[in-house]
Amino acid sequence: MKKNRLGVSDLMVSEIGFGCMSIGTEEDKAVSLIHEAMERGINFLDTSDLYDAGRNEELVGKATQGRRDQVVLATKVGNRRIPGKEGWTWDPSKAYIKSAVKDSLSRLQTDYIDLYQLHGGTLDDPIEETIEAFEELKLEGLIRYYGISSIRPNVIREYAARSSIVSVMNQYSILDRRAEEEVLPLLQDKGISVIARGPVASGTLAANRKIEKGYLNYDVEQLQQLREKLQKMVNGACSMSQLAIRYSLGHPAVAAVIPGASSLEQLLQNIEASNVPALSEEELETIRRISIANQYELHR
């Protein structure tokens, strides 16, 4: 599988990574999926302390025991569970980040994290303090690099200007092109890589998925019409979901996509996209023409 450099780091990540959020909580199945991914060329695994209250990190840690040197391990921080309080509280403070990393390291059964990501962020955060926390963790050797996971252009702009982030995880697909105008050109100019999540748009761009509701500013009818046009483009050469993955990888700012998979069939479909030729500029332009160039409105 092709590998790309993540920003200006020395991390080389498989162009198709594995978004581990959807692997479930049953150990044998989850570990088996991750092992299958690794054996087929995926070296980039993304998890978070938020997923299944830390259980996801534990499963990723279990799967990578004895194989730690074969993977680029990414996890996230910023959502804090307070005992006796339901749900999670946003906490980008230096004290919390430096405390939470120890719990993630323990669950992942490792002594370092390759890519530690802020799992959200707003302009009201103590951004300098947050950056300081990540920089100190780098100096301490607990993390190698850091990034943010955000769809807020104004927040991304702040971190791009003020920190040494190597990546931004951002939702990006044929159905969600909001990043194309504001975010992707900025990051490309700064040498910061995009990790594209949701390339298949929660399965909406999978051929066997029945469309029952809209997606972003698409209604059901618009989705059905677009899927028909995409299916004609595919014309048996690949699946619609593989075309969608190739579209997200088609922008030069994108270093990797991280589609999720809850079954072996889905995982193999995702991986097979690595054998589909990169889309030509003409094909990319056709997709842009038949889809909506949606833009960020609320996320500021």
The residues that are catalytic are 51
Buried/exposed code over 64-78 (b: 16+ C-beta within 10 A; e: otherwise): beeeeeebbbbbbbb
- Angle made by CA atoms 239, 249, 65, in degrees to the nearest 5: 90
Residues 6+ positions from 139 with CB-CB distance below 8 Å: none
Give the count of beta carbons closer than 10 Å to the beta carbon of residue 280. 10
Which two tokens mark 276? 């589909």
Mapped onto helix, strand or coil, the DSSP state of residue 190 is: helix
Pairing label, strands 44-46, 89-90: unpaired
What are the Cα distances from residue 37, in Å, to 49, 56, 59, 199?
A: 21, 16, 14, 17
Using DSSP, state whether 162 is helix, strand or coil: helix
Residue 31 burial (C-beta neighbours within 10 Å; 0-12, 13-18, 19+): middle
Q: How far is Cα 188 from Cα 145, in angstroms, rounded to an integer?
A: 18
* β-strand partners of 45: 18, 73
